[in-house]
Structure 1
Amino acid sequence: MELLSNRPLHASVPDKYVFPPEKRAALLHDAPSSDVALPVVDLQRAYLSDAGRRRLVAEEIIKAGKEFGFFQVVNHGVAEDAVRAFRKASAEFFAMPAEEKLPYCSDDQSKPFRVASSTSYDRNQTRYWRDYLKLRCHPVSDELVGHWPAKPESFRSSLAEFSAQVHELAQTLLLLIAEGLGLDEGFFAGDLSGGDTQMNVNYYPPCPDPSVTLGLLPHCDRHLLTVLSQGDVAGLQASYRGRWLLVRPVPGAFVINFGHQMEIVTNGVLASVEHRALTNSAVARMSVATLIMPKMDCRIGPAPDMVSEENPAKFREFVFREFMAAYDTAAANREDVLEYFRIEQH
């Protein structure tokens, strides 16, 4: 397997990474919106026992979710040391010699840890300017840790600490979302968020000509909730009112967005929003996405409290395993995958 990170310098963009003009970043929709910024939610109040303050934070999250499908959180309880340590270990992994990464290279999506390049959805044969680690990270067990790489030396311990803290943040967010929607506080607990937590560590090396390629295709996430450490290099764009909004890095923040399952269980109130990744020519960019997943046999459909005469059920009930298969068939295309589960309205 050819990894972009195995080459220290790219003098030009190889043909297989060059997109046709109509698919290139500069020509998709309008120019990136520069006058709108994602809401930044301060979670510090949410950790307090004062119900009134917590309610304000919950309402702020729902407002941001309805408007953008994305928001950033600060004072989130994840230690900056834990974030830095795992990002450093991940960067060191990508910088290792090719032969040390080779044993982990695989396109087998069932592996609990693997390294690959581009994406499994490059069906048109054009490749994306991205290497990535895809791994299971929670719940942590000795068996799971044994699948993680032993090099660099700090990788396993820093991943275990980082994933535990991010998982706790995700559960806090789900409690607040439930409260903000008027659902039972335990609505998202159990099977709906109890699947194996996945993580994607995305590495985008400097690109000689970012105007002809993309780091990652426009897509919506298939799961429930994403907690993203973007770092200090911009590159993530979210679709907003027909334009692409650059998600500007906020020091110490996590970017939060909703997956398809959140849209379905809230009956469209909190929508999953398309997003993509750009490259740049100056520096490498690395993002760490933690993906909160339902269990494979979890039955999913609109929550009864989110369905009414004015807002009838938009989606049929299904098992999450069925959704995963449909997502792959649709090659991550938002409308194509949702069409499998949408109820026709009369």
Structure 2
Amino acid sequence: MELLCNARPHASVPDRYVFPPEKRAVLQLDDDGVTLPVVDLHRAALSGDDGLRQRVAAEIVRAGKDFGFFQVVNHGVGEDVVRGFRDAASEFFAMPAEKKLPYCSSDQSKPFRLATSTTYDRGETRYWLDYLKLQCHPVTDELVQHWPAEPTSFRPRLAEFSEAVHDLAQTLLRLVAEGLGLSAGFFAGDLSGGDTQMNVNYYPPCPDPSLTLGLLPHCDRHLLTVLSQGDVAGLQARHIGRWLLVRPVPGALVINFGHQMEIVTNGALASVEHRAVTNSDRTRMSVATLIMPKMECRIGPAPEMVDEATNPAKFREFVFSEFMEAYYTAAASREDVLESFRIHEN
């Protein structure tokens, strides 16, 4: 497997990474100063101040409706915890090729693997990234044995980061539920109880970012994503027909909703298309933690979000494993995958 992190810096973009002009990113985007909402979670909002908690929940829902993406600060995941795992992951990518080779695999059933480009390639062109895909929660002794033993900091830092982000995700789901008028525990159980997955995406400097993409335009297949993007911009989210650059905010984590949130809320909170662009100066690494339903979970619009007269159900009920199959068949295309589950009026 030919990894970008093993190669010497390229003087030009190899042909296999060059996209046709109509699929390339616009790197100098005039976004009229539009930025993602930044929600201050306030630890007080999580510890008994009902009025403050309600305001924070309303902010989250409003941000979700307006953008589908937002950033959170004062979220309770320590900067030392975030930095500890990011440093360990960076050390992993920097290891000699022979030490990383045992982890290279295209077998998606493995709980830890290293690969390049993407499993959703649409055509022959490759994306400018290497990535780790791994199962990260619940943290058990058996699971940890699948994680790399080198660098020595990797396993303990990943376990610490995974536990902290999982707790934050459950807090966010409770706030989303309350902000929508659902019971606080609505998303608990099977809806968020699947094995938590993590993508560590590694984008080396690219000699000509205008020719290629780091990651394809897509929507996430699961319920909720918590992203650490570090201090190098590269994530773009679609907003009112244009691509909005998600500018890093010190100490913030980026949150976005997946397809399952859109379906369960009957379209009130949408999954928003996003992609990654490259840069020529600095390596960028993002760490995405994906909160998943259980494979056997039955999913459909919540009855509380449906009104037969004014807001009928937009999606049929299904089992999450069926959605996963449709997602891969559709190569992560937002409209193609949702079309399989939409209810059309006669």
TM range (shorter): over 0.9
Q: Secondary structure of the residue that 1:187 maps to in structure 2?
A: coil
Aligned to 2:198: 199
CA distance in 1, matches of 2:188, 2:75: 20
User: What is the distance in 2 between the residues matched to 1:193 and 1:64?
Assistant: 21
The 3-state SS of whatever aligns with 2:113 is: strand
Q: Is 1:153 matched up with 2:152?
A: yes
Say whether 1:39 aligns with 2:16: no
**C-alpha separation in 2, matches of 1:198 and 1:33:** 32
Q: Does 1:12 align with 2:26?
A: no
**Corresponding position of 1:184:** 183
Q: Matched residues in 2 for 1:331 and 1:170: separation?
A: 26
Query: What secondary structure sits across from 1:147 in the alignment?
Result: coil
8 Å Cα contact 1:16/1:125 also seen in 2: yes
In the alignment, the residues of structure 1 paired with residue 232 and residue 49 of structure 2 have an alpha-carbon distance, to the nearest angstrom, of 36
Give the TM-score of the pair, scaled to structure 2.
0.98
Residue by residue over 1:251-277, the C-alpha shift from the partner in whole angstroms, topping out at 9 and shown as x without a partner, is 000000000000000000000000000
Return the offset for 1:11.
1.2
Matches of 1:160 and 1:175, distance apart in 2: 23
CA distance in 2, matches of 1:270, 1:219: 16
Task: Give the SS at the match of 2:313.
Answer: coil
Deviation, structure 1 residue 9: 1.1
What amino acid sits opposite 2:234 in the alignment?
G
Distance in 1 (CA, whole Å) between partners of 2:109 and 2:337 is: 21
Q: Which structure 2 residues correspond to residues 252-271 of structure 1 after superposition, within 5 A?
A: 252-271=251-270
- Aligned ranges for residues 197-276 of structure 1 at < 5 Å? 197-276=196-275
Q: Deviations over 1:117-174 (max 9, x none)?
A: 0001113010000000000000001110000000001000000000000000000000
Residue number in structure 2 paired with 1:98 = 97
The answer (yes or no) to whether the contact 1:24–1:211 under 8 Å persists in 2 is yes
In structure 2, list runs of 5 or more residues that go unmatched. none
- Contact 1:300–1:317 (CA<8 Å) still a contact in 2? yes
Q: CA deviation at 1:226?
A: 0.1
Gapped runs of 5+ residues in structure 1?
none
Query: 2:324 maps to which residue?
Result: 324
After TM superposition, give the deviation of residue 12 of structure 1 in Å: 1.1
Q: Distance in 1 between matches of 2:268 and 2:150?
A: 44
Rounded Cα–Cα distance in structure 1 between residues aligned with 2:12 and 2:32 = 29
* Structure 2 CA distance for aligned equivalents of residues 77 and 64 of structure 1: 20
Cα deviation for residue 35 of structure 1 reads: 1.3
Q: Distance in 2 between matches of 1:7 and 1:65?
A: 40
Helix, strand or coil: the match of 1:72?
Answer: strand
SS of 2:226 mapped into structure 1: strand
Amino acid at match of 2:289: T
Q: Deviation of residue 46 (structure 1)?
A: 2.1
1:262, 1:271 within 8 Å by CA — same for their partners in 2?
yes
**1:139 matched to which residue of 2?**
138
Q: Is the 8 A contact 1:34 1:246 kept in 2?
A: no
8 Å Cα contact 1:32-1:243 kept in structure 2: no
Query: TM-score, normalised to structure 1's length?
Result: 0.98
Deviation at 1:32, TM superposition (A): 4.8
Give the AA of the match of 1:311: N
Deviations 1:270-292 (A, max 9, x none): 00000000000000000000000
Equivalent position SS for 1:343 = coil
The equivalences for 1:160-179 within 5 A come to 160-179=159-178
Residue identity in the other structure for 1:12: S
Instruction: State the superposition RMSD in angstroms.
Output: 1.0
How big is each residue's C-alpha offset from its partner over 1:220-271, in whole Å with a ceiling of 9 and x where there is no partner?
0000000000100000000000000000000000000000000000000000
Contact 1:73 1:253 survives alignment (8 Å): yes
